[in-house]
Structure 1
Amino acid sequence: MKKTSIAAAALALCGLWAAGSAQAEGHYVPGVEGMQAASVPPPGMYYLGYLVNYNIDDFRAPGSSSNLPGHNRGTVTALANRFVWVTNYKLLGADYGVEAIVPIMRTSLTINAAGISDSRSGVGDVYLGPLVLGWHGPQWDAVAAAGMWFDTASTSHPASPGKGFKSTMLTGGLTYYFDGAKTLSGAALARYEFNGRNDAGRRPGDQLTLEWSLGKSFGAVSAGLVGYSQWQTTNDSGTGATSDKSARHAVGAELVYPVPGAGVFLKGALYKEVSAKAGTGPEPKGSLLRFSLVKAF
């Protein structure tokens, strides 16, 4: 890579990490939902805790699938606290609910290509979802939802937890059971983010996330294949923006174990990103380990 290209990549990287997250575009972190991702629980109050560790092996250079030069690594550990209330009311034939997500994050970055070495902890941008709809059929479940990510978190340092802009997120998905006993399932969950502008006038391109799974239950325990893909669907705009769009794809495995009598489900999944392409700014590529706890009240 020429020196001018390295300098351009470093400047773009500084601008990216001023937004404060491992994902280059959008708020939603892929891989937090796995098997039966589109199945809304019955009416009640629920807490879902997602403990995620994203280990960054390298960074793709802007506009390519090649790595930035030098030693560039990062780790993001987050606990996303999700609160869901599924009411007894019906809307369009579906159970109606609301939700909120409050993430707590720890980010460590060592990016020699941009001269960055930083670690920060804090509360990330908060999500409020006033619309959650869950439908249930004999061998299928479906979901539709809408909400907004707010720019509530700090963006003052490269590893700060905030994105610096708001996003409107729409969700839709389907879980299908291939047998009447519901022991074999397939699921797909799509989330689309309409990203806003930050204080500097830069607007990241919109983002589409697709999470998928194929699972099998063995009595109380379930296991299966999981994966995710993310695509930037529109161009970035503002200073330094290009027509390059980012993308990433990952595959993995998940295990689900219920705790009888406690109303608790424990889930664990490991994803490996098999490809990543950077857009205007550098794009991380690595592996994601996720543990989830679902508690019904």
Structure 2
Amino acid sequence: MKKNVIASAALALLASLSPLTAQAAGHYVPGVEGAQAASVPPAGFYYIGYLVNYNINSLRAPGTNNDIPGHNTGTVTALANRFVWMTGHKVLGADYGVEAIVPLMRTSLTFNTPGISDSRSGVGDIYVGPLVLGWHGEQWDAVAAAGVWLDSASTSNPASPGNGYKSTMLTGGLTYYFDPAKTISGAALMRFERNGRNDAGFRHGNQVTVEWSLAKAFGPVQAGVVGYSQWQTSNDSGVGASLNKSSRHALGGELVYPVAPGLALKGAFYKELSAEAGSSPLAKGSLVRLSIVKAF
């Protein structure tokens, strides 16, 4: 892909990162959601700040799960600012809302083999989501959403924050509580991205991301196991495209702590256990995420 190191939007996102060394094709960054990822809050306005640091340990060679020889490392730090408004209206029996994600990013790349040494800061591609639907049962929550990642950020340098193309993202997920007191939960959240063409006419294949969690509450504190997987589901097209498809899988842990009513902190660490590159080199590394949820 053109140059996507870690990030997107996700959303939720939610955020895009550097498009040079593919996180798999697309904008959405896996690992930004954790426990109860498919649970939509009640009516109101919410801010979720995702502070993410992705440490690149190596680059996978195109079409393989083997590292490219040499010193190829980097870091991407992003603050994805997500704004959610649950309107209080109902659509198809679900709570209806809208959302937007504005990522701020700092990318530093030192890839000796391809001869890249670059550091940039800036605003990444913005996500606009006009449809968020949340359903609630006695021991379950479900979500469906749709939106677009805009081609709004710079792509002029290897570490620039933009991807250079638009993506349509569809979301679906389920949170299930194993006990009536809702102290034990499992969740799975799926994001599907259909990527557009960049200025050179290259189009990255579509991508599916699944984030999952299994969590237990210990009084006000919650701890759990989290993970994510990404798969490229269709072939790239354009000059330089191949039939190879990228994928990655990670495992980690999360801790959730309520600081005050309407304010919670979440921290998580993910280690990527495997990664296979598609048409372009693919970064492999580890991710640390600290997020804050504030209800207004």
Q: TM-score, normalised by structure 1?
A: 0.94
- Alignment-mate amino acid for residue 58 of structure 2: D
Partner of 1:265: 264
- Alignment-mate amino acid for residue 104 of structure 2: I
Map 1:153-232; keep pairs closer than 5 Å. Answer: 153-232=153-232
Unaligned runs of 5+ in 2: 5-17
Partner of 1:107: 107
Cα distance in 2 for residues equivalent to 1:67 and 1:139: 44
Identity %: 73
Map 1:52-71; keep pairs closer than 5 Å. Answer: 52-71=52-71
Change (3 A) 1:87 1:21: farther
Map 1:95-134; keep pairs closer than 5 Å. Answer: 95-134=95-134
Is the 1:269–1:290 contact (alpha carbons within 8 Å) kept by the matching residues of 2? yes
Partner of 2:49: 49
Alignment partner of 1:281: what SS? Answer: coil
Partner of 1:286: 285
Q: Does 1:89 align with 2:52?
A: no
C-alpha displacement at 1:113, in angstroms? Answer: 1.1
Is the 1:132–1:143 contact (alpha carbons within 8 Å) kept by the matching residues of 2? yes
Is the 2:21–2:280 contact (alpha carbons within 8 Å) kept by the matching residues of 1? no
Please list the CA deviations of residues 212-236 of structure 1 after superposition, one character each: whole Å capped at 9, or x if unmatched: 0000001100000000000000000
C-alpha displacement at 1:161, in angstroms? Answer: 0.2
- Backbone CA RMSD of aligned residues: 1.2
Is the 1:109–1:117 contact (alpha carbons within 8 Å) kept by the matching residues of 2? yes
Unaligned runs of 5+ in 1: 1-11
Please list the CA deviations of residues 72-100 of structure 1 after superposition, one character each: whole Å capped at 9, or x if unmatched: 00100000000000011000000000000
Alignment partner of 1:170: what SS? Answer: strand
- Alignment-mate amino acid for residue 172 of structure 1: G
More helix by share: 1
Please list the CA deviations of residues 216-265 of structure 1 after superposition, one character each: whole Å capped at 9, or x if unmatched: 0011000000000000000000001000000000000000000123x101
Alignment partner of 2:113: what SS? Answer: helix
Change (3 A) 1:163 1:56: same
Is the 1:45–1:296 contact (alpha carbons within 8 Å) kept by the matching residues of 2? yes
Cα distance in 1 for residues equivalent to 2:113 and 2:151: 28
- Alignment-mate amino acid for residue 292 of structure 2: L
Is the 2:102–2:126 contact (alpha carbons within 8 Å) kept by the matching residues of 1? yes
Q: TM-score, normalised by structure 2?
A: 0.94
- Alignment-mate amino acid for residue 118 of structure 2: D
Is the 1:24–1:281 contact (alpha carbons within 8 Å) kept by the matching residues of 2? no
C-alpha displacement at 1:19, in angstroms? Answer: 3.6
The structure that has the greater radius of gyration is 1
- Alignment-mate amino acid for residue 99 of structure 2: E
